[in-house]
Amino acid sequence: MVTASAPGKFILFGEHAVVYGKTAVAVAMDRRFACSVAYSDENTLNGKPVSFEKHPYIYHMLQKHGMDNTAVDTVSDIPAGSGLGSSAALSVSFSAAIRALKGMSTEEKDIAEDAFDTEYSVQGRASPADTSTCTHGSGISINGPGNGGLWSISRNGNVWHIADAYVPEMTIVVGHTGIHAATGPLVERVRKFRDKNGFAYDIVNEIGDIALHGIDLMRKNDITGIGELMTKNHKLLSILGVSCSELNKLVNAALPYSYGAKLTGAGGGGSMIALTDEPDKVCEAISKHGGTPFVVKTAQPGVVIKNI
């Protein structure tokens, strides 16, 4: 049996824009998804048969690796459909475990590529931001300045250069709306808006510019500046139509005690993040407005594989 685990993540800057090859920054957090795989008589997930409708990521991975005899068991403390990378952490931990079981390469680049392929196939359009962060851990820039770094992935005319990003010490509170929002339809909504509307096209570019500026401020440990940019990023995402009243409520509740706040991930529900020195006050404000808060530790390790 092989067990692998991968961290969840939050996107600090650049979600949606990164799908079009713009810049983004994402950070691994201290909630993880673990996946165990062992040879068996048939494909099962947590003791039940695997179906494409219910388990598209696992189903796709099993098909891709030509497996029809694998028992898969999963455990996670990343809320599903929350914008915190649960599907990416699933794809990464599964890829790592199955590759180790089969004696294939378990280099980060190969796992990240494999997991991205699954996200892309299941979600339709996607960027490798989530899967790369869940693989490498720590902080990741995608198409940051200088580009150089870990690996590059291309698809559909876009190229994403993945590099290690310096992450300053930050206290981040996550506020989960409790609303499950699938990434694929939100990405598709932005694609349609951007394709037919020059204004939306410019907003997407502006989000990429914010992420570039954000990387510079992170290097300078400019917490105030980072917070301001987060709030600006949220406003632009709202204009793109991927926020919702619950997310806006939590962002507004957190702002009086925060340097900045924004939705994180695909939006439409899911979660927001706040950068703060007053985590207790932010948690209280989020709870009061119907969200579930938790403080996250940043810059966590990436994928970890154990042969048992």
Q: What stretch of H or E contains 254?
A: helix 245-254
Among 129, 172, 237, 296, binds ligand PMV (CB under 6 A): 129
Tokens of 150: 């870990």
Q: Give the C-alpha separation, 186 to 266, whole Å.
A: 6
Residue closer to ligand PMV, measured from CB, 18 or 50: 18
Secondary structure E strands in 77-215: 139-142, 151-155, 158-164, 172-176
Region of 123-131, 169-177, 191-199, 227-235 interacting with ligand PMV (CB under 6 A) = 123-131
Please tell me whether residue 62 binds ligand PMV under the rule CB under 6 A.
no
Q: How near is the Cβ of 63 to ligand PMV at its closest, in Å?
A: 21
| Shortest Å, Cβ 142 to ligand PMV | 8
Alpha-carbon torsion (294, 236, 252, 211), positive or negative? positive
Is there a contact between 14 and 25 (Cβ–Cβ < 8 Å)?
yes
Q: Is 15 among the residues that bind ligand PMV (CB under 6 A)?
A: yes
> Closest approach of Cβ 7 to ligand PMV, in Å?
12
Residues 160-189, mask of contacts with ligand PMV (x by CB under 6 A): -----------------------x---x--
Q: Provide the β-strand partners of residue 9.
A: 28
Q: Is 217 in the site for ligand PMV (CB under 6 A)?
A: no
Q: Which stretch binds ligand PMV (CB under 6 A): 16-24, 46-54, 68-76, 283-291?
A: 16-24
The Cα 233–Cα 80 span in angstroms is: 23
Residues in CB range of 272: below 8 A, 6 or more apart: 174, 175, 177, 234, 247, 250, 251, 254, 261, 262, 263, 264, 291
Which stretches of 220-276 are DSSP H helices? Answer: 223-239, 245-254
Instruction: Assess whether 222 carries a catalytic annotation.
Output: no
Q: Lay out the site mask for ligand PMV across 25-44 (x = CB under 6 A, - = otherwise).
A: --------------------
23 lies in the site for ligand PMV, by CB under 6 A: no
Catalytic, out of 130, 202, 277, 280: 130
**Residue 230 Cβ vs ligand PMV, minimum distance, rounded to whole Å:** 15
Instruction: Using only the alpha carbons of the chain, give its radius of gyration.
Output: 18
C-alpha 250/C-alpha 272 separation (Å) is 7
- Verify binding: residue 130, ligand PMV, rule CB under 6 A: yes
Instruction: Please tell me whether residue 227 binds ligand PMV under the rule CB under 6 A.
Output: no
Q: What are phi and psi of 126, to 5 degrees?
A: -165, 160
CA distances from 181 to 68, 168, 247 (A): 30, 30, 12
How far apart are CB 48 and ligand PMV at their closest, in Å?
Answer: 24
| Residues 251-290 close enough to bind ligand PMV by CB under 6 A | 265-266, 270
Give dist(CA 34, CA 285) in Å, integer.
32
Could you say whether residue 2 binds ligand PMV (CB under 6 A)?
no
214 binds ligand PMV (CB under 6 A): no
Nearer to ligand PMV by Cβ, of 191 and 281: the residue is: 191
Which residues in this chain contact ligand PMV in the complex, by CB under 6 A? 15-16, 18-19, 83, 85, 126-127, 129-130, 183, 187, 265-266, 270
Active site residues: 130
